[in-house]
Amino acid sequence: MSTEHWRPSSTHWGAFRAATDADGTLRVQPHPADPAPSPLLGNLAGTVRHRTRVRRPAIRRGWLTGGPGPTGARGDEEFVEVGWDTALDLVAEQLERTRREHGNEAIFGGSYGWASAGRFHHAQSQLHRFHNTIGGYTASRNNYSFGTSQVLLPHVIGSTDALLQHADSWATIQEHTDLVVAFGGLPGKNLSIASGGITRHTGSAALRDLGTDLVAISPLADDVPAGPGADWWPIAPGTDVALQLGLAHTLLTTGRHDQDFLDRCCTGSEVFAGYLLGDADGIAKSAEWAAGICGIDATAIRALADRMAAGRTLITVSWSLQRTEHGEQPVWAGLALAAMLGQIGLPGGGFGHGYGSMADIGDDAPAVRPPTLPLGRNPVRAFIPVARIADLLLNPGQQYDYDGQRLTYPDIRLVHWAGGNPFHHHQDLNRLRRAFGRPDTVVVHETHWTATARHADVVFPATTALEREDVGAGRRDSHLIAMHQVLDPVGEARDDYAVLAGLAQRLGTHQEFTEGRSAREWLVHLYEQWRAGLVAQGHDVPPFAEFWAAGDLRMPDVRHRAPLAALRSDPERNPLPTPSGRIELFSATIDSFGYPDCPGHPVWLPARQRRGGPLHLIANQPPTRLHGQGDVGEVSQRAKVAGREPIRIHPRDAAAREISDGDVVRVFNHLGACLAGARVSEDVRPGVVVLPTGAWFDPQPDPARPGETLCAHGNPNVLTADVPSSRLSQGCAGQHAHVEVERHLGPVPALRCSAPPPLADS
Ligand SMILES: Nc1nc2c(c(=O)[nH]1)N[C@H]1C(S)=C(S)[C@@H](COP(=O)(O)OP(=O)(O)OC[C@H]3O[C@@H](n4cnc5c(=O)[nH]c(N)nc54)[C@H](O)[C@@H]3O)O[C@H]1N2
Ligand SMILES: Nc1nc2c(c(=O)[nH]1)N[C@H]1C(S)=C(S)[C@@H](COP(=O)(O)OP(=O)(O)OC[C@H]3O[C@@H](n4cnc5c(=O)[nH]c(N)nc54)[C@H](O)[C@@H]3O)O[C@H]1N2
Ligand SMILES: [Mo]
């Protein structure tokens, strides 16, 4: 194989070059500029040609013969493979009928999900652009990643960007910071990933040798990077706010808070101080009080407060902490604690959100917005906060609260999804199955036979990024990658763009959707527009042909001033876009909503959902893949235990249940059950079990319990409750659940998810 056959491409976990061997095997080499390439590249070869690829358009038998309508059969029926024209005609007809009979609001096109890297073929962008040409759709707002912070932070610091786009770089931290206090730890596994791609994994490289002291607070030792200055504080899950308040109370009562910073740059510090002292509820939020809740010794809490005040300290809160009930609180209380230390806006000090969650937080690459497909305008006003999908489908007409508004769920008749997997990302999957029984029609574009594809009526086979051309870059990336086509499309798979152009043709909006451009012409168009903008700002960017031939380009060095540093330097001249112009430790706006589950300042609120069992389950991001993507690949498969997703359990909890390492176990609660493979380990706090997300959902009859079903593979979302973080944000709270674990007796069922569903020829 000669190197001239190596073609550049990209994924959310890194840029690379790929070539195929004589026997068709895919070979992958990380981008030469990447100092710490992601191990997840190892999943690609086994995934792109896996037998679970969708090869032809497929229609659920009952929908094809019986027509559209609510049904309990989705997910349980065989599919009939049909030609492209048949599938496109039938879907166009239902889009037309739905908008005529029920209005465009009856089409749900939110279509949340990560899809693939590549700016033009980005599946959601394509889908939204298409629907905007035919009159719009009910949309979804915010994300599963930090959707709670997306609603909270604009109230308290004016934007999410102030923390996410303007985070200090790892290099700045290494230079200036004495102590990092990381709530949620700094899990190296997460630093593979950045939405849209990442060429240089500078965070992964920095974590190899952080060079500062670190207190990593997490129930799981994996979240603590190796290194001499790192301490593991195995906190009880869901109790970080108590620890934060205990630290804040200690600073306040020992006079080490920075009153000058609080007066100059914050509002509401006196309300927060009153709460810490227990003015209204009579409870001082002291180190002793905190110790009783979070399981960390009061002396250690006071000593940590000392250390924090003694030098340059960065307090950071992982996104996982806000993906819980009352998920606003650890973010807001963490910010308030940092405000009391008074180092917000100093290099390497203050508050961070998502170091250890995503590779682009702390990356020092320039802040250039990559080329972007224009989406048009959605005339439909109806939307949901993204994690309310099952409520939307199950409860048309029902009212609910969101960020000070009273919203009503529209009546959805047609669901159209491309580039996402709600049967991966949503909670209480047994409930989601019922919800997916409600619409008349479910249309899914997928590369693979995921659980969502299996719950559809019509499945369009989509190409992967390796089977098409694109340009790729993350939100903060050192390079723009010319993504060349590496492989021929599998079977009859088409690009989402081609599929939607086919629907647009049938609905009379082909010209508006395509603007007469081929996919390649779009790449040139989007690139040249982007280039013109940068050239106008004085940057030197090569024309498309040159960029394409080179395989990538270095992003021009665009930098913006961080709003929190600006605030610190002069709060009068550089106010934040909050009502007060300051950091709001008390928000009159949030207070005015009157939500008991998110009052006007940070508070300790225990989770309501405690049902389900004695063990606290953490369903975190998987170390071996991106969500469900690549679960059939080599890296993901190698980690499985007896073919099941590994669940970590402490030796004490395992012994009490006569569970040994390598056993297949049943994990269950009042919502559902799944099988998993036991990994007995001291790396997890006693009383806590960790089962990452992303094992492909495989609902089957429970072999040991007639009439009951379980996920035979280990998807934790059969166990998580479908409850929001709060009425303020309605964010995803899927990180935690309560469960029991037992040895699985009886036969271990074969997995069905690793082969396509039953397919018939038309
Ligand atoms: N319990 C629990 N649940 C969680 C979380 C948690 O912490 N705990 N985390 C949540 C978070 S943060 C997130 S972001 C979500 C992620 O949830 P998702 O983003 O829905 O998960 P993915 O597996 O990335 O799904 C993307 C799908 O797009 C498909 N795809 C890829 N490229 C293309 C393409 O070009 N075209 C088409 N048509 N399809 C394509 C892939 O095959 C894949 O099935 O999960 C959430 N769910
Ligand atoms: N390898 C890999 N990396 C990923 C992803 C992936 O799928 N795979 N997904 C990406 C995406 S979309 C996102 S949004 C980010 C998400 O980034 P995060 O949400 O930060 O990631 P998680 O792994 O879910 O959680 C981080 C750690 O928080 C700890 N934790 C959980 N609950 C608690 C608690 O109550 N208190 C404390 N102190 N710690 C707790 C868990 O042990 C967990 O390992 O990750 C990104 N990175
Ligand atoms: Mo995410």
Q: Does one domain contain both 384 and 410?
A: yes
Question: What average pLDDT score do residues 679-698 get?
Answer: 98
Q: Does one domain contain both 284 and 385?
A: no
Give 116 Cα–ligand 1 centroid separation in angstroms: 10
Does 756 fall in a domain? no
Q: Is 66 exposed, middle or buried, given 0-12, 13-18 or 19+ CB atoms closer than 10 A? A: exposed
Does 698 fall in a domain? yes
Q: Does one domain contain both 248 and 318?
A: yes
Give 357 Cα–ligand 2 centroid separation in angstroms: 6
Q: Does one domain contain both 358 and 379?
A: no
Give 319 Cα–ligand 2 centroid separation in angstroms: 7
Pocket flag, ligand 1, residue 716 (CB < 6 Å): yes
Report which ligand 2 atom has the smallest distance to the Cα of 114: 12
Q: Does one domain contain both 362 and 443?
A: no
Q: Is 281 exposed, middle or buried, given 0-12, 13-18 or 19+ CB atoms closer than 10 A? A: exposed
pLDDT at residue 579 greater than cutoff 80: yes
Report which ligand 2 atom has the smallest distance to the Cα of 622: 8
Question: What average pLDDT score do residues 294-321 get?
Answer: 98
Pocket flag, ligand 1, residue 445 (CB < 6 Å): yes
Identify the pLDDT of residue 4: 56
Count of structural domains within the chain: 4
Which ligand is the nearest neighbour of the Cα of 499?
1
Report which of 712, 221, 604, 136 is spatially closest to residue 416, judged by C-alpha positions. 136
Q: Give the CATH number, domain containing residue 490.
A: 3.40.50.740
Pocket flag, ligand 1, residue 447 (CB < 6 Å): yes
Identify the pLDDT of residue 2: 44
Does 630 fall in a domain? yes
Identify the pLDDT of residue 228: 82
pLDDT digit string, tens, across residues 206-260: 999 999 999 999 999 999 998 888 999 999 999 999 999 999 999 999 999 999 9
Which of these ranges, 290-304, 313-327, 423-437, 693-707, has the smallest mean pLDDT? 693-707
Structure tokens at 711: 């996920």
Does 230 fall in a domain? yes
- Percent of the chain surpassing pLDDT 70: 99
735 and 190 Cβ atoms separated by less than 8 Å: no
* Boundary (domain end) residue, out of 337, 366, 395: 366
Q: Does one domain contain both 380 and 339?
A: no
Predicted confidence band of residue 293 (pLDDT cuts 50, 70, 90): very high
Does 377 fall in a domain? yes
Instruction: Write down the mean pLDDT value for the chain.
Output: 97
* Boundary (domain end) residue, out of 554, 573, 594: 554
Distance CA 457, CA 79 (A): 8
Q: Does one domain contain both 88 and 208?
A: no
Does 161 fall in a domain? no
Q: Give the CATH number, domain containing residue 323.
A: 3.40.228.10
Q: Which residues contact 732 (CB under 8 A, 6 or more apart)?
A: 144, 147, 148, 323, 386, 387, 425, 427, 724, 725
Distance CA 562, CA 403 (A): 26
Give the domain range for residue 21: 3-48
Q: Does one domain contain both 14 and 67?
A: no
pLDDT digit string, tens, across residues 379-388: 999 999 999 9
Question: What average pLDDT score do residues 359-376 get?
Answer: 95
Does 392 fall in a domain? yes
Q: Does one domain contain both 407 and 271?
A: no
Distance CA 121, CA 493 (A): 14
Q: Does one domain contain both 622 and 736?
A: yes
The b/e string for 41-54 (b: 16+ C-beta within 10 A; e otherwise) is bbbbbbbbebebbb
Identify the pLDDT of residue 1: 42
Q: Does one domain contain both 362 and 409?
A: no
Q: Give the CATH number, domain containing residue 670.
A: 2.40.40.20
Q: Does one domain contain both 256 and 340?
A: yes
pLDDT at residue 608 greater than cutoff 90: no
Pocket flag, ligand 1, residue 717 (CB < 6 Å): yes
Known catalytic residues? 112, 114
Does 237 fall in a domain? yes
* Boundary (domain end) residue, out of 554, 573, 596: 554
